[in-house]
Copies of this chain bind each other. A is one copy, B any other.
């Protein structure tokens, strides 16, 4: 059985192909009776509009491209990050009959810009979702801009471009976490900063400082160590922080991996978590629930963010809704086992 076309439906329903097109696309100006007959014919013939023909005629591909940094298979955090982005974007695509094209790439590659430009010119998606850390990089943003394809940035740290952006309220959430720790009685709350290139993670540092201030604690550089987002760097920072004579009673790390590193070191040093030391992270990666004690952390609503991004792009391509400004999503503070009252 070869596929039925719009002509088959039209002749079965006794109408013109244009009317079928109207019904199929939910356009107005079709009488109820006609609509019904057409729908019956569609069902009877198991008719599905041909994507290619539709795209060719309408100049819309109904394709959304999701671009992200290629996760190393063995870095769970990235794998989970990517999966959540995909899940959110797919949700929007399914609602709207779009398809999602995924494109992992290496943000350190000096040719990414060209690669992405070629990709977009070849595929011609209706919109592009650019996930962090790619969404911060000027060379990448520029390469995509020149194609003229609408794009949305997910979790960019700085709002350098004017394009639409979805992000978590990193600063407020980090302040909230800090206040939460202070509310447990902690006075010496340390912070482990993240990779300097990862802006979102930098903003959390500012939030930490806000939180201290709001809790009436004062900031001290002796309570800050610089990591690079890796577990190992978290360990290194923890070793320094826990070697201080005035050792912190709480450590808040700019991401979960580093927080996991902190816990690991505490374990090695025989420091009880959370009895003697509270540890908090950020991101709620899968690891956060696997380690012992399970990590108190902030969950970035990534799927919701990606869904919003995809939806905005699709709307924009169909009804030309504007694509500017920023949508902020509140992080959720997940209290688990790694935080508790400050020791006396």
- A-side residues, CB < 8 A to B, are 46, 48, 50-53, 55-56, 61, 63, 70-71, 73-76, 79-80, 82-84, 86-87, 90, 97, 99-104, 121-124, 286-287, 289-290, 303
Q: Are B287 and A51 within 8 A (Cβ)?
A: no
Q: Are B104 and A102 within 8 A (Cβ)?
A: no
Between-chain CB contacts (< 8 Å), 17 pairs: A46-B121, A51-B123, A52-B53, A52-B55, A53-B56, A70-B87, A73-B80, A73-B83, A73-B84, A73-B303, A74-B80, A76-B286, A76-B287, A79-B82, A86-B102, A287-B290, A290-B290
Tell me the complex Cα distance, A84–B78, Å. Answer: 12
With a CB–CB cut-off of 8 A, which chain B residues contact A56? 50, 52-53, 56
Q: Are A76 and B123 within 8 A (Cβ)?
A: no
Q: Are B124 and A51 within 8 A (Cβ)?
A: yes
Q: Are A51 and B121 within 8 A (Cβ)?
A: no
With a CB–CB cut-off of 8 A, which chain B residues contact A87? 70, 73, 104
Query: Nearest 6 pairs between A and B by C-beta?
Result: A52-B55, A52-B56, A79-B79, A76-B286, A52-B52, A79-B83
Of all chain B residues, which has the CB nearest A46? B121
With a CB–CB cut-off of 8 A, which chain B residues contact A99? 63, 101, 123
Tell me the complex Cα distance, A80–B285, Å. Answer: 13
Of all chain B residues, which has the CB nearest A288? B74
Count the copies: 2
Closest Cβ–Cβ distance, residue A240 to chain B (whole Å): 23
With a CB–CB cut-off of 8 A, which chain B residues contact A55? 51-52
Of all chain B residues, which has the CB nearest A53? B56
Q: Are A289 and B46 within 8 A (Cβ)?
A: no
Tell me the complex Cα distance, A122–B63, Å. Answer: 13
Tell me the complex Cα distance, A123–B101, Å. Answer: 12
Tell me the complex Cα distance, A154–B74, Å. Answer: 21
Q: Are B48 and A122 within 8 A (Cβ)?
A: yes
Tell me the complex Cα distance, A75–B80, Å. Answer: 8
Tell me the complex Cα distance, A290–B77, Å. Answer: 12
With a CB–CB cut-off of 8 A, which chain B residues contact A70? 87
List 13 additional contacts besides A48-B122, A53-B56; criterion CB under 8 Å: A46-B121, A51-B52, A51-B61, A52-B52, A73-B303, A76-B76, A76-B286, A76-B287, A79-B83, A86-B104, A90-B103, A90-B104, A290-B290
Of all chain B residues, which has the CB nearest A49? B122
Closest Cβ–Cβ distance, residue A167 to chain B (whole Å): 19
Q: Are A289 and B83 within 8 A (Cβ)?
A: no
With a CB–CB cut-off of 8 A, which chain B residues contact A103? 90
Tell me the complex Cα distance, A56–B56, Å. Answer: 8
With a CB–CB cut-off of 8 A, which chain B residues contact A121? 46, 48
